[in-house]
Chain A
């Protein structure tokens, strides 16, 4: 059976499972649609939360980011797990005691204002819609690669699947489907990791393999030391090297942590449990299931980095990196274990070119002066080629010769492995593109694992993207039907009418997300920075103040949220372009241009501080919250008397 058929069978089986569960767990009431009837146990809820939380970014992109960023990209590991501590300690038990369905509803009641509720709805919609686009794109890429259809077709198939089970099942259907999706995605992630850890370190537990010995040379050198040596040989920074900007690393980690605690689709998971004590422990169970993937990810990233490097420099496996010649193109085309290179080349996510014409692909970190010198040669050659037939070519030919001489001087003075590039006949790095996102999906192929493992990884990537998309769509639809329509526009709507409105708004949200996925406004990874930064600067502070302060007034909350929203969005747009439209950024997105070295992804905690500060300042100047709000605050602080959620 060929790989394509195998992919098709495994993906079809996983989808049949999701549909079966959705039909079995149809939602009949708004309580079931929004909060699964509050009848979900902490372990099941934790598993569903984990699937909901771990998106295409966690499954597909994170290990690749760690592979190429090394220690610096630990921010994702700490940031995306540490937020659960904040959720368990600071938000989940109190919001469950409050006992309603949505985040804006809490904001509206605690700050006794429909306007505050509407501002919260706006923040929620901006956060969730930017986040859902990334998931739809992830679905499209995965389908395109493994089902060999176009990205557009892949995206449309994905939307149809989400539509079918999310619209009919609501939270109840989504919760139980997510349990199945968790099982698929965690096996897809850990099975290849176990195989690879065993072959590189002799330890079948990837977490221990990461800090263990390197097996191919007898385990006497540590794996991480071996990796550091191989990548520094090729001119890259050491894998475990210190960060160059500690302040920025600190702020990015903080932004991801408080952003996680402020993501509406994660918070609503804690409305689905039966008791306040269950909400606390649920966050713990969610982190258990998340940690299974997150503690394996550093091993997956580092081992993939070593594997891809030793694929192109076979000599690095046993001894010195340059003891054998680089991988040859003839080998790529004849070795069945290397077909993945040509397969990924087709997607454009991996590219190589034989610049010195020796039939070998030399992969190394090209220093900036060499890149510039090579570009000058290419430009001079292009000018010569573009010249009219009867033009005087002599000056152009002289320019080419001068550029080549300048380039050769750079080659003569750049050393790699103790000898100059000129001496070794290298012209430049020939593995020109290796996209972060292919590391997890191509990992089993790079390590030459069996076909069923490759098919499982495809199903896992889809499960991760679909489960998160469904959770986000639910948060969007409840904000529209429950907060906007029932809360403000049409308070007398019947339960049946509200359920219909919820389903229609979910269908609308899917259509919008699909359209945005087909026409992304020129960005991919940046949206994550926006979603987390905004959640950190708006939802998290307003909820904290709602629970832990008795003095913050409705005016304070509204002004605070707006200040957090606008300051964070403006800082991000300054560097990434207004609404991410390429070319409209006022400042270049480089560390030198960043204010005090703070990158756009690191602004969240600063936006949150501005939010807190203005909210307190405005509260000092406005009338204190009324007595019934004081009673509400006292009531949510004590677990006793939680009971079932109040729908009306």
Chain B
């Protein structure tokens, strides 16, 4: 078991990764997909405006990339702090 100070540093680093990821999660779905759609209606992706596309397809792709990026980042953190399995 890692000592107390390094495990609390690990937890702080973990929380930072979570906050950044959640900010992206919120921005692509609730942000572009819902709240900002009227403001961004001039931008289009093929036959759809960007808000419509993010609400129906785009945010799902972002979610996917987000989870895998998070898993990779956390595996690196685990090793760095010596808490990997």
Contacts and interface: CB of A to CB of B under 8 A. Distances in A.
Given A246-B34, A287-B67, A638 B83 contact: yes
Nearest to B38: A242
Contacts of A250: 30, 34-35
Interface stretch (A102-110, A180-188, A207-215, A425-433): A207-215
24 contacts: A74-B52, A77-B60, A78-B59, A81-B60, A85-B21, A85-B63, A85-B67, A88-B71, A93-B74, A210-B46, A211-B46, A211-B48, A222-B46, A222-B47, A250-B30, A253-B34, A280-B74, A284-B64, A287-B64, A295-B57, A634-B7, A638-B1, A638-B2, A638-B83
B45 A294 contact: no
Contact of B71 (A240, A280, A634): A280
B53 A281 contact: no
A204 interface: no
A71 interface: yes
Given A287-B67, A640-B83, A211 B53 contact: yes
A276 to B, nearest CB: 6
A270 interface: no
B19 to A, nearest CB: 10
Contact of B55 (A77, A207, A288): A77
Contacts, number: 141
A639 interface: yes
A401 B25 CA distance: 61
Interface string A74-118: 100110011011101110010000000000000000000000000
A240 B49 contact: yes
A82 B33 CA distance: 12
A141 interface: no
Q: Interface residues of A: mostly helix, strand, loop or mixed?
A: helix
A332 interface: no
Q: Interface residues of B: mostly helix, strand, loop or mixed?
A: helix
B85 A641 contact: yes
Nearest to A643: B85
Interface size class of B (residues with CB under 8 A): 35 or more
Given A295-B60, A640-B2, A224 B70 contact: no
B47 A88 contact: no
A88 B85 contact: no
A78 B29 contact: yes
B64 A291 contact: yes
B60 A294 contact: yes
A642 B1 CA distance: 11
A284 B60 contact: no
Contact of B67 (A211, A283, A640): A283
Contacts of B49: 240
B64 A78 contact: no
Contacts of A324: none
A277 B63 contact: no
A275 interface: yes
Contacts of B11: 637-638
Interface of B: 1-2, 7, 10-11, 14, 18, 21-22, 25, 29-30, 33-35, 37-38, 45-49, 52-53, 55-57, 59-61, 63-64, 66-68, 70-71, 74-75, 78, 82-85
A411 B14 CA distance: 65
A413 interface: no
A558 B59 CA distance: 35
Contact of B83 (A208, A275, A639): A639
Contacts of B37: 242
Interface of A: 66, 71, 74, 77-78, 81-82, 84-86, 88-90, 93, 207-208, 210-213, 222-225, 240, 242-243, 246, 249-250, 253-254, 275-277, 280-281, 283-284, 287-288, 291, 294-295, 298, 634, 637-642
Contacts of B85: 275-277, 639-642
A240 B83 CA distance: 49
Contacts of A639: 78, 83-85
A78 B55 contact: yes
B70 A280 contact: yes
The 9 A-B pairs of least Cβ separation, nearest first, read A222-B47, A211-B46, A74-B55, A284-B67, A298-B56, A280-B71, A640-B83, A224-B47, A281-B71
Contacts of A295: 57, 60-61
Nearest to A637: B11
Contacts of B25: 82, 85-86
Contacts of B7: 634, 637-638
B21 to A, nearest CB: 6
Nearest to A226: B47
Contacts of A276: 85
Nearest to A88: B67
Given A66-B56, A638-B11, 20 more contacts: A77-B55, A78-B29, A78-B60, A85-B25, A85-B66, A89-B67, A89-B70, A208-B46, A211-B46, A211-B47, A212-B46, A253-B30, A254-B30, A277-B71, A291-B63, A634-B7, A637-B14, A638-B2, A638-B7, A641-B85
Contact of A640 (B1, B18, B34, B45): B1
Contacts of A77: 55-57, 59-60
B55 A284 contact: no
B71 A223 contact: no
Given A210-B57, A640-B1, A640-B85, A89 B18 contact: yes
Contacts of A249: 34
Contacts of A634: 7
Nearest to A302: B56
A88 B49 CA distance: 30
Given A77-B55, A277-B85, A223 B74 contact: no
A218 to B, nearest CB: 14
Contacts of A284: 64, 67-68, 71
